[in-house]
Amino acid sequence: MKRLLVVDDALFMRRLIGGVAAEAGWEVVGEAGDGAEGVALYDQLRPDLVTMDLVMPNMGGIEALQKIRELDPSARVVVITAVDQKQSLMDSIRHGAVDFIVKPFDRDRVISLLNKLAASPS
């Protein structure tokens, strides 16, 4: 079973993503409420995938993405973003995000993306 770390400052969003991931056969091994906590949990858990919100307190998603990729250049991170954050989305792709999900997201799109990533080598 593939292992997922969910990083988002909104508890309801973490639970929503976790529920969809479970439907797709993923195990949520950790949840973080900000980027700094996400980096620490990534270092501890080394999951197969991270979903990363961009706008969070303490440390935003792009900085957390950079720090995770410094810890593990092969880390796979999917960015979660609102539609009006195009520049941040482009920055995240430049810093190594493997894909993105736009909020509010379509459940089937997320399941399809998770299935695709589960089938591809880490």
Q: Print the SS3 string covering 17-75.
A: HHHHHHHCCCEEEEEECCHHHHHHHHHHHCCCEEEEECCCCCCCHHHHHHHHHHHCCCC
Q: What is the pLDDT of residue 84?
A: 67
Please write the tens of the pLDDT for every residue from 38-91: 999 999 999 999 999 998 999 999 999 999 999 999 999 999 887 667 778 788
